[in-house]
């Protein structure tokens, strides 16, 4: 999973693949910490289908606002700059895989 930083732009990262999974989280969020290894594992197994990008809402509040993020963790699946689906909260690995397989 790639991390959005000040050294890269979200547009650059989104252009690397047709589908991108934006994972909005925060360092203080316990649910985000438990969801992170699940997303890492699933995104590495499905890396041929989408690009996973971690966005810290405290470091990138404008991106969180652009996507209407009100709660973390929130995962937003994007296809060519268009939001396909979004999920708020923790999800077990099997459910995450099913959700992504249906959409990509």
Our answer to whether residue 32 is catalytic in this structure is yes
The residues with which 56 forms a beta bridge, in sequence order, are 25
Do residues 43 and 96 make contact, with C-beta atoms less than 8 angstroms apart? Answer: no
Q: Considering the candidates 21, 32, 53, 76, report the single residue annotated as catalytic.
A: 32
Q: Considering the candidates 4, 10, 29, 100, report the single residue annotated as catalytic.
A: 29
- Phi-psi map region of 81: left, alpha, beta (phi>0 left; psi -120 to 50 alpha): left
Which residues are annotated as catalytic?
Answer: 29, 32
């Amino acid at each position: 999973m790639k991390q959005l930083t000040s050294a890269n732009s979200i547009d650059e990262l989104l252009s690397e693949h047709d589908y991108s999974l934006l994972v909005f989280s925060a360092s203080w969020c316990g649910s985000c910490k438990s969801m992170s290894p699940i997303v890492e594992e699933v995104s590495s197994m499905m890396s041929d289908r989408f690009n996973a990008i971690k966005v810290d809402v405290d470091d990138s509040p404008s991106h969180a606002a652009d996507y209407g993020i009100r709660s973390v963790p929130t995962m937003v699946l994007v296809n060519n700059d268009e939001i396909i689906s979004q999920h708020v909260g923790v999800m077990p690995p099997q459910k995450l895989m099913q959700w992504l397989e249906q959409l990509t």
